[in-house]
Amino acid sequence: MPLSMRSIFCVLGSAQAALGFKYHAADFSSYAGTPAACSNTQISCHNTTAVPDICCFNYPGGQLLQTQFWDTSPSIGPVDSWTIHGLWPDNCDGTWEEYCDPSREYTDVRSSIQAAGETSLLTYMDRYWKDYQGNDESLWKHEWDKHGTCINTLRTECYSGYSSKEEMVDFFRITVDLFKTLDSYKTLAIAGITPSSTKTYTAAAIQSALTTAHGFPVTIGCKDGEFNEIWYHYNVKGSLQTGEFIPTPPDGTKSTCPTSGVKYLPKSGTITPAATTNCSLAPVETYYS
């Protein structure tokens, strides 16, 4: 059941599972440029022959990873939410490309989002897309430069009436909208997995909870036995801008948590309800990648 990513998707329980998420071209009507209109689209990493339209098929980065952080030292972001790391285009074989277009490594991320009129997007990023060193825009720029420039359907030639830097704004907006459907904190809590200074968990229990919600296994990351990262894997039917995100298994074995004794430490501070919507503002960061 594809849903519009332009509207906020309220996650009820673990019902976020195994859904596709889709943009519609009308969602971009406020922009000077319009993403390519795509028909008879194919699912990335599932084609058996070459797909000639580079604007309607994600290649070579056909597996898109929505990645999240849980930072406790220092504590970053809301204490009851994971935060955004990024959106990464892995190749279908598990390798990846990076820093694909130096000419589009823009320096003014915040002002570009403001110029596009995306004030609510920027407010959300300020809360949920956090840099552990306190310079959020440096993280945003890093993620765009390293990963966003490698998403081929975001190339400038894939827009009619292209407006400067709008593909970068699309990258941040789509990443945020996808993240809003993935409330990792709530999903884990429903399974009885909550931050604790004394309790530990098995990797299997964590994986089971997240797999139930996502529909497929995810990648879980640990540093020194502390659970601090989740990667949700997707293929995309069509372009990044107007296509459907389809949950898929990881492109290889990448989880780094021990079998048992996994620490899920609490952030410092108190839980305060997030404002601005009636939904849980679903779900953020440590070491750049």
DSSP letter for 135, please: -
Contact yes or no for 176/123 (Cβ under 8 A): no
- CB within 8 Å of 9: residues ≥ 6 apart: 3, 16, 21, 180, 181, 279
Indicate the pLDDT class of residue 289, thresholds 50, 70 and 90: low
How far apart CA 148 and CA 153 sit, in angstroms, is 10
C-alpha span between 34 and 20 (Å, rounded): 22
Q: Give the end-to-end CA distance of the chain in Å, rounded to a whole number.
A: 32
Q: Which pLDDT belongs to residue 251?
A: 86
pLDDT of 29 reads 38
pLDDT digit string, tens, across residues 38-62: 888 999 999 988 888 889 999 999 9
Phi-psi region of 152 (alpha: psi -120 to 50; beta: other; left: phi over 0): alpha
Host H or E run for residue 160: strand 159-160
Packing angle, helices 166-179 and 119-128, rounded to 10: 60
Q: Which of 140, 137, 173, 171 is nearest to 154 (CA)?
A: 171
Query: Residue 36 — very low, low, confident or very high, per pLDDT cuts 50/70/90?
Result: confident
Question: pLDDT tens, 91-110?
Answer: 999 999 999 999 999 999 99
Q: With 70 as the cut, is the pLDDT of residue 19 above it?
A: no
What was the pLDDT predicted at 37?
85
**Residues known to be catalytic:** 85, 143, 147
pLDDT in tens, 245-283: 999 999 888 899 999 999 999 998 654 444 333 433 333
Q: Which residue ranges form the domains of the chain, and what is each CATH number?
A: 3-263 (3.90.730.10)
pLDDT at position 8 over 80: no
pTM of the model: 0.84
Q: What is the pLDDT of residues 163-222, one digit of tens each?
A: 999 999 999 999 999 999 999 999 999 999 999 999 999 999 999 999 999 999 999 999
- Residue-level pLDDT at 247: 98
Q: DSSP label at 252?
A: S
Q: Which of 90, 101, 93, 100 is CA-nearest to residue 61?
A: 90
CA distances from 165 to 68, 125, 243 (A): 25, 18, 20
Going by pLDDT thresholds of 50, 70 and 90, the confidence category of residue 22 is low
